[in-house]
Amino acid sequence: MAAADTRAVVLRTHPYSESTVIARLLTEDFGVRSVIAKGARRPKSRFGALLEPFTDGRIQVRFRDDRDLHTLAGFDVGRSRQGIGRSLRAFAGASLLAEILLRTGTEDPHPDLYAAVITCYDALTDGSEPDAVALGGIWSTLSVLGFAPRTDQCIRCGRDIDPGEETGFDPAGGGVACATCRPRGRRLDGVFRRELDALCGSGGRIEALDDPRLHRELLRAHLIAQVDQDRPFRSLDLFLDSPA
């Protein structure tokens, strides 16, 4: 069977045998896939670059219809992203994005999602504004996958929210709630909501944020209520508390 060719980025790897690894990849044309890379752990292996998370490149893969694990036939490294490790916050954000993709991604082709993830990982490698960049990558990914919070209408009464109005945030309801509906918890002003909307639509690109800590806390509340399904994200606490 001919090998399929697509772009891919490494989300996670784990050893399978002494010389072999299983890599979980986000591909441009086939969604999230697991491949077995024979010999990857041997010195000078052509698959050695796969062992670094967030590396991208072109892969050739032989799909097997009857299995979830496919065979990697080739890997041409595009960009390695060891620079992400220079900032703990950037590394935590990149890892959290990878976890979210592994948890929620499908096998459908998703060029927009792939582009947003690569944009985010490139910007984290380049080192500017790790909070805004990671949050932009994560929120735009959640939006593409249908997990964006509702910010234009109150999730309880359905009333349109005025741009300058202060609202609450209802994680379980998946969005903002107006003052009349007496939401508990965090208060969000218009500036914060505009930033949140921008992050969701950013494709991974946004300027510095007014209150990055509040953004990280809101993301945590949203992930726990809407996405994690009682399986906590391992990178979440690190992303919340690590130095930028």
Smallest separation (angstroms) from Zn ion to the CB of 167: 9
How far is CA 68 from each of CA 28, 31, 35, 51, rounded to the nearest angstrom? 17, 13, 8, 20
Task: Candidates 57-65, 102-110, 127-135, 156-164: pick the segment binding Zn ion (CB under 5 A).
Answer: 156-164
Residues 6+ apart with CB under 8 A from 239: 89, 92, 93, 95, 96, 134, 216
Task: Candidates 61-69, 79-87, 153-161, 218-226: pick the segment binding Zn ion (CB under 5 A).
Answer: 153-161
Partners of 10 in beta bridges? 25
The pattern of x and - marking residues 167 through 206 that bind Zn ion according to CB under 5 A reads -----------x--x-------------------------
Query: Which residues ranging from 42 to 81 are in contact with Zn ion (CB under 5 A)?
Result: none
The pattern of x and - marking residues 111 through 150 that bind Zn ion according to CB under 5 A reads ----------------------------------------
Smallest separation (angstroms) from Zn ion to the CB of 158: 7
* The one among 154, 199, 218, 236 contacting Zn ion by CB under 5 A: 154
Does 161 engage in binding with Zn ion (CB under 5 A)?
Answer: no
Smallest separation (angstroms) from Zn ion to the CB of 142: 23
* The one among 156, 190, 214, 226 contacting Zn ion by CB under 5 A: 156
Smallest separation (angstroms) from Zn ion to the CB of 178: 4
Q: Which residue in the block uniquely carries the two structure tokens 């595009």?
A: 78
Partners of 23 in beta bridges? 13, 35
Question: Burial code of 31-58, b = ≥16 C-beta within 10 A, e = fewer?
Answer: bbbbbbbbebbeeebebbbbbebbbbbe
Does 157 engage in binding with Zn ion (CB under 5 A)?
Answer: yes
Q: Contacts with Zn ion: how many residues (CB under 5 A)?
A: 5
End-to-end CA distance of the chain: 47
112: helix, strand or coil = helix
CB 57 within 8 A of CB 28: no
Q: Applying CB under 5 A, which residues contact Zn ion?
A: 154, 156-157, 178, 181
